[in-house]
Chain A
Amino acid sequence: MALPGLTIIGESINDSVPSTHIMFEENNIDGIINLAKTQAEKGAAYIDVNVGSHSPEFMADMVKKIQEHVSLPLSIDTPDPAIAAAGLKAYDPERAGHKKPILNSISEARLEMFDTYAEQPFIPILLITEGLNESGEMVMNTTAEQIHATAKSMVRIARERMKNAGNDQIILDPGIMPIGSDSKGDFKRLIDAIALIHQDKDLSGINMSVGLSNFTQMLPSKKLDGSPVKGPLESAFLTMAMPMGLNTIIGSVNRKYQILEDDHPAMQCLKDVLKLKGIDIVMRVMFYYS
């Protein structure tokens, strides 16, 4: 269900979803097209296409077949530059109301993914959870400041490679980790990083996105009383992050995302998590769903 101000990239066409994986394996094109249509009907603004380790030709074929039936723009989702290039080249903007595709995602380790931009302009999702260190090695960013620094450096590169495109043509992915195993303060780091990006005038108007289903991965779907666990926690995250510029998610069109009141138990849980450390964070999440 659509939440005003939130762009949903429908996540279902992804090789890591077991039922979708089977469709790919069985070449069940009708099934894939149905997934695209259903997500379009339920409010997705983009349809994500992730073919896992299938070939670049397979990605190109999927893009063409989905575009024959759905007029939404697509998000070409792969870390593999060859698969990305094949998907982008196969994409026809005319079939999507002249909208550019999204490319999910480019990190500092695979800047060659910008090479296709001249031929097929796209909106890149820039992965800023990892960056090059002083010796030129890729390392995981462990602080909000490092994530912010990678954002600045990646945006600078993106502008050069995208003929000075504006911030509104760039999406940053600061990375969201499962809250159920957050004994190292991942959630606080994410919120702090979003705040730093939001306050940075040079990054004004930039889009921010996360893969929201990852946030509640491996948690129970229901509390003991039968009420849902995942939807409210994901909504609580949106309630905190959207005022700081997060405006896009790769997520499920079946979730009822909403802005929660301050005293909602899921909001209370995430606010407490920001103040806690180590195992206490995990216990607070358990307390929420118990």
Chain B
Amino acid sequence: MQEYVDKIATCVAKGKVNKTAPFPPDMKDKDGADEIAAEALKNGVHPDLLLEGCMKGMDIIGKEFSENRAFVTNLVVSAAAMNAVLKHIKPFLESGEVKRKGKFVIGTVSGDLHDIGKNLVSMIITGGGYEVIDLGVDVPTNKFLDAISNNPGCSVGLSALLTTTMANMENSVKAIKSTYPDLKILIGGAPINQDFCSRIGADFYSPNPHDAVDYLNKSVA
């Protein structure tokens, strides 16, 4: 059974989506994440192990990306391979037979329309074993509050890419903390730093997506 975990981890880390996918070249014509997940379930492997394979694979690529050893393209194809596996696990997630570590609500703050950084973080956190509720870009505070009330026990991530929208991040963080003082808030984005994080009362500044998963694993999982 462990061999399926490793096979899936390899496909996810290397971004081998399915048999016909041309990447990576050294896995040409070999089964990809899609085929291996189907075969594993057919052979009675518990879907938990498929999720474990995804987490292992995304951990590898996330770490490489954070250390500038992998590129954004690698991350995108790894996420595609992960999604190919998640498609097979979906019925088990819906029935509750497979459980994730927690829920993570994420969005780019009000007035800010940047979504690439947020999307990369979403991919890595999904790969970390969390259910990600992506609110998109230009998210007003009340939309964050609604999502939090609909997803009890979640953590929240806010992204801002503009110096002008950092003030909106501060307002959202303060409003969330005043209603949910124990909820963990992670922030990130090009102009954000640790000083700003401490000043506005957020719990964690993540300079890269991988650190965000580490923090969630330590603090909420």
- A and B associate in one complex: yes
Is A157 part of the contact surface with B, judged by Cβ < 8 Å?
A: no
Q: Given the complex, which residues of A lie within 8 Å of B17, measured CB to CB?
A: 279
Residue A219 interfacial (CB < 8 Å): yes
Report yes or no: A287 in contact with B22, Cβ–Cβ below 8 A. yes
Are A286 and B111 in contact (CB-based, < 8 A)? no
The list of the 9 closest CB pairs from A to B, nearest first, reads: A218-B72, A53-B163, A180-B72, A180-B73, A279-B80, A140-B113, A282-B76, A286-B73, A181-B72
Contact B71 A178 (CB under 8 A): no
Q: How far is the CA of A222 from the CA of B56 in the complex (A)?
A: 28
Mark out the residues of chain A between 50 and 80 whose CB falls within 8 Å of any chain B CB in the assembled complex.
52-53, 78-80
B contact residues around A217 at 8 Å (CB): 72
Contact B191 A53 (CB under 8 A): yes
Interface membership of B166, Cβ < 8 A:
yes
B38 at the interface (CB under 8 A from A): no
- Which of B21, B22, B113, B120 is A181 in contact with, Cβ under 8 Å? B120
Contacts of B191 in A (CB 8 A): 15-16, 52-53
Assess whether B137 is in contact with A178, with CB atoms less than 8 Å apart: no
The answer to whether B166 touches A138 (Cβ under 8 A) is no
A282 interface neighbour in B73, B115, B138, B164, Cβ under 8 Å: B73
For A139, what are the chain B residues with a Cβ–Cβ distance below 8 Å? Answer: 113, 138
State which residues 96-132 of A face B: CB under 8 Å: 109, 129-130
Task: Check A286–B77 contact: CB distance below 8 A.
Answer: yes
Task: Check if B164 sits within 8 Å of A219, measured CB to CB.
Answer: no
Cβ B25 vs Cβ A290 within 8 A: yes
Interface residues in B, total, Cβ within 8 A? 27
What's the nearest-Cβ distance from chain B to residue A194, in Å?
20
Residues of B near A213 (CB, < 8 A) are none
A282: chain B residues within 8 A (beta carbon):
73, 76-77, 80
Given contacts A219-B73, A287-B23, 15 further A-B contacts (CB under 8 A): A16-B190, A130-B113, A139-B138, A140-B138, A181-B73, A181-B75, A181-B116, A183-B76, A183-B80, A219-B71, A219-B72, A279-B76, A282-B80, A283-B22, A286-B23
The answer to whether B76 touches A138, judged by C-beta atoms less than 8 angstroms apart, is no
Residues of A within 8 A of B171 (CB): none
The answer to the question of B119 belonging to the interface, with a C-beta cut-off of 8 Å to chain A, is: yes
